[in-house]
Amino acid sequence: MYDSKDSNVLTSIKSSPQKSVVLTFDDGPSSVLLPILDVLKNENIPATFFWQSRLMYESRPWKRVLEEGHQIGTHSTKHLNMTKLSFEEQYKDLEQSVAKIEGITGTKVVFFRPPFGQYNDHTISAAHALGLIPVLWRIASMDWELEDNPEQIISHVINHLEDGAIILLHELHQTLEVLPILIKEIKHLGYQFSTL
């Protein structure tokens, strides 16, 4: 569980009459994006994708992402630790990232997830100056550490599930492997799925 008291950073969504959570996927667009989209479409679930703009090209299936009701946010240009950069460097990185994603998709970028979940006052100032909402998470799936034990991704999420939680996932093979089961488990516990 990520328990931030920083009001500048989003870790959960406002509760609604129906319990809901948000699935977010970092570090794309990747080679497993299309099968992840297939799973989400099959389950009729929206998600939010945080993409590194250096991986973003016109040929990526971004149109499908938007047409199927998902959101695209920025995960910076090259996934550098923002806290090691000056305000000017952070601003330039985010500005370039947003410009590239918006230039390709024609859709405004609203959300930003700091690489490694690391940020400082300069990060927040740069994001706000560009009209971006910084987003972290309430539940980390730890999927990046569980290539050899993907079933644990499910328990990491299910054991901490709560209304409004933003769930951190990545565009990884092990995440794709357990995604259908994870979604079914979350639904079984009475949750719906939202975007930010």
Task: Look at residues 171, 177, 184, 170 and name the one whose alpha carbon lies nearest to residue 142.
Answer: 170
DSSP for residue 77? S
* Given the residues 3, 6, 26, 27, the one annotated as active site: 26
Answer yes or no: 6 catalytic.
Answer: no
CA distance 182 to 102: 31
CA distance 75 to 49: 9
170's enclosing H/E stretch is: strand 166-170
* Given the residues 70, 75, 156, 170, the one annotated as active site: 170
Q: Output phi, psi for 169, to 5 deg.
A: -130, 170
Answer yes or no: 188 catalytic.
Answer: no
- Active-site residues, by number, are 26, 170
